[in-house]
Copies of this chain bind each other. A is one copy, B any other.
């Protein structure tokens, strides 16, 4: 079968022939429909993040996938079920985090990540998986099901943020998404139903497809070049919720100033080291005197995937279609990995339902 891989010697991404995987007992075989590409994939390709499976010379890329069960292999998951696979797997059989259904809370060393760290991903015509790591989707979501993984990241971040505000009456009316990448835009669409006034930060000039997407949702585009993050409360309003999806380290700290009293910032971006000055006294004081919180979250679990399926199913007609601007065949994988300002979200399509 065809698969998009990188190799240990630094080659790739490239489209190569690999043997069709054969499901172990208790595993099903999934025929891949579409696989999304995001910043993490680009980091894996650049060698900045992740690792190949132990003892192997290549890694099948891809962790945002949708497929259809091709061989139930004696399990209870019916053939023909449309599924999105979760990402984390236990490195040695199992551990307490996986047993509790909370692999997303496992510390480093206690998990592999398919397509990222130590386990093959989904950019191939077929993949295998135990059914417990596959979340069933309505057939209507088959084309967009590769977005469930990203949406699950946001479900986890939002549920953590909301939990942090659960000790008092909190009805967020304003939310700001930092970042107009695919995760930022998808999260903005997901927030639309929960929060009255939504804002999204970018650094682009009109005409621009991300700005169009933001404004078509009814959200407000905030240009960081004219309105730096700490100025947002003065120019617009203090934000009850900030969702940081860029991994730009200063944002984590500026978020504290941008929050309205009793607000929460959810952080999901992953920056590298960067030393800079902050008025730490003011930020610390702001957190305390205005009951603010910052919550970092990574990855997601099966519950978040299931909630993501519901949320994506409830989005207004056309939103997901507008988000997925590019769908390319496997042989055009380089278009999917390229930096392309006209692309909001790109998927590689291995097959159709």
Contacts and interface: CB of A to CB of B under 8 A. Distances in A.
* Category for how many chain A residues contact B: 35 or more
A117 to B, nearest CB: 12
A281 to B, nearest CB: 3
Interface string A101-117: 01011011000000000
A253 to B, nearest CB: 6
A247 B280 CA distance: 11
A102 to B, nearest CB: 5
A293 B291 contact: no
Contacts of A293: 160, 164, 293-296
A283 interface: yes
A107 B259 CA distance: 12
Contacts of A319: none
B166 A281 contact: no
For A249, A279, A282, A285, which residue has the most chain B Cβ atoms within 10 angstroms?
A285
A92 interface: no
Interface in A268-287: 268-287
A267 B284 contact: yes
Interface of A is mostly: mixed
B280 A278 contact: yes
Interface string A44-68: 0000000000000000000000000
Contacts of A252: 280, 283-284, 287
A166 B168 contact: no
Interface in A127-185: 156, 159-160, 163-169
A338 interface: no
Contacts of A287: 252, 267, 294-296
A289 B281 contact: no
Given A102-B168, A278-B275, A280-B253, A298 B288 contact: yes
Interface in A237-278: 247, 249-253, 261-262, 267-278
Given A279-B275, A281-B249, A289 B295 contact: no
A270 B296 contact: no
A41 to B, nearest CB: 17
Contacts of A273: 279, 281-282, 285
Given A166-B166, A283-B252, A288 B296 contact: yes
Nearest to A286: B296
Contact of A271 (B104, B272, B281, B295): B281
Nearest to A250: B280
A100 interface: yes
A8 interface: no
12 contacts: A102-B168, A105-B261, A164-B295, A249-B284, A249-B285, A267-B287, A270-B288, A272-B285, A273-B285, A275-B277, A275-B278, A276-B280
Interface of A: 100, 102, 104-105, 107-108, 156, 159-160, 163-169, 247, 249-253, 261-262, 267-298
